[in-house]
């Protein structure tokens, strides 16, 4: 992925990691559009020189409208960063958390999938394009206090692997950014001021160092997230099995796949 001369759409770009990424990309000479629900945050982003689009990533119609508006207003769009997300504690033994689960799945999982489908025909027409999903270290070692959030991040990790494989022979690059616990307002002021969390600027600086120094990396992993990312399995063995499994099944089902 080139770091200059892009037109980027960043969902959930009005605050936290999304806004920090947006500001950094803008300083490098990119056109940046941030999408979000909060009008106040969008106005603050506009004051920083960022383009904005109001959008609800938990609504299918809202996501499709976002894609159409972004393409119409910014036809050079060639990068999307799926950053929008909600993270809510769920005490499963004491209450019905069904609505929290529905809202979390709609925003964190279905939103990025629907937006990818809506943007992909446009991205495939660009000279070069990139899709970046923002998952979490919790995709690999879940936080039991936020079971649905952790599950959606694991699902997006899986989806990203499939998306990367299917697009490997196209002009669209697929990357996954998996943050550790970062000092943002995702779960309120407690997280924003938690000294146990990685400072946001340190995180962004390390992310861009990886993008600069390892442009081929499919996963963008700051050092602080390595313990989570590699806790559960032998990574080289997993990668080898992943490749063998999918190469084999794609060959066996080639006619079925080609007919879709």
Enter the tokens of residue 254.
């080639």
**Separation CA 31–CA 90 (nearest Å):** 38
3-class state of residue 177 by DSSP:
strand
Give the pLDDT confidence score for residue 236 in this predicted structure: 81
**Separation CA 21–CA 231 (nearest Å):** 27
Average pLDDT (191-219) is 93
Q: Looking at the DSSP assignment, which residues form a beta bridge with residue 190?
A: none
85-133: pLDDT as tens digits? 999 989 998 889 999 999 999 999 999 999 999 999 999 999 999 999 9
Q: What's the whole-number average pLDDT of the chain?
A: 93
Catalytic residue (choose from 149, 159, 181, 238): 149
Average pLDDT (236-240) is 79
- pLDDT bucket at 260, cuts 50 / 70 / 90: low
Give yes or no for a contact between 4 and 28, defined as CB atoms under 8 angstroms apart. yes
Sheet containing 219-220: give its strands across.
51-54, 31-36, 7-11, 79-82, 129-134, 172-177, 219-220
Give the pLDDT confidence score for residue 98 in this predicted structure: 96
Q: What share of the chain is helix, strand, coil (3-state, %, to 5)?
A: 50, 15, 35
Active-site annotation holds for 149: yes
43-89: pLDDT as tens digits? 999 999 999 999 999 999 999 999 999 999 999 999 999 999 999 98
Listed by start position, the domains of the chain span: 7-229, 234-260
DSSP code at position 199: P
Give the pLDDT confidence score for residue 237 in this predicted structure: 78
Q: Looking at the DSSP assignment, which residues form a beta bridge with residue 7?
A: 31
**Separation CA 122–CA 130 (nearest Å):** 12
CATH architecture of the domain 7-229 equals 3-Layer(aba) Sandwich (3.40)
Of 239, 215, 240, which is closest to residue 229 (Cα–Cα)? 239
Average pLDDT (212-219) is 96
Does residue 253 surpass a pLDDT of 90? no
State the CB neighbour count (10 A cutoff) for residue 128: 14
3-32: pLDDT as tens digits? 999 999 999 999 999 999 999 999 999 999
Give the pLDDT confidence score for residue 163 in this predicted structure: 98
In sequence order, the 6+-apart residues with CB closer than 8 A to the CB of 82 are 11, 111, 112, 115, 116, 131, 132, 133, 134, 156
Enter the tokens of residue 115.
């937006």
């Amino acid at each position: 992925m080139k770091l200059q001369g892009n037109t980027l759409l960043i969902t959930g770009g009005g605050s936290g990691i999304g806004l920090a990424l947006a500001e950094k990309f803008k300083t490098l000479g990119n056109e940046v559009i941030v999408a979000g629900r909060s009008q106040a945050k969008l106005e603050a982003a506009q004051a920083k020189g960022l383009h904005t689009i109001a959008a609800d990533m938990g609504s299918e119609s809202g996501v499709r409208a976002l894609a159409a508006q972004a393409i119409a207003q910014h036809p050079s769009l060639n990068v999307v960063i799926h950053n929008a997300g909600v993270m809510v504690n769920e005490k499963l033994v004491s209450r019905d958390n069904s609505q929290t689960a529905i809202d979390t799945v709609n925003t964190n999982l279905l939103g990025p999938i629907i937006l990818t489908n809506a943007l992909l025909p446009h991205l495939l027409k660009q000279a070069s394009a990139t899709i970046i999903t923002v998952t979490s270290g919790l995709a690999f070692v879940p936080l039991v206090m936020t079971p649905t959030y952790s599950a959606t991040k694991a699902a997006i990790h899986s989806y990203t692997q499939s998306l990367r494989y299917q697009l490997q022979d196209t002009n669209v690059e697929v990357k996954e950014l998996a943050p550790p616990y970062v000092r943002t307002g995702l779960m309120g002021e407690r997280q924003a001021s938690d000294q146990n969390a990685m400072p946001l600027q340190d995180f962004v600086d390390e992310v861009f160092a990886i993008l600069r120094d390892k442009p081929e990396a499919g996963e963008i992993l700051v050092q602080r997230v390595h313990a989570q990312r590699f806790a559960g399995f032998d990574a080289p063995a997993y990668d080898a099995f992943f490749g063998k499994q999918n190469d084999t099944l794609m060959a066996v089902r080639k006619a079925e796949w080609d007919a879709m």
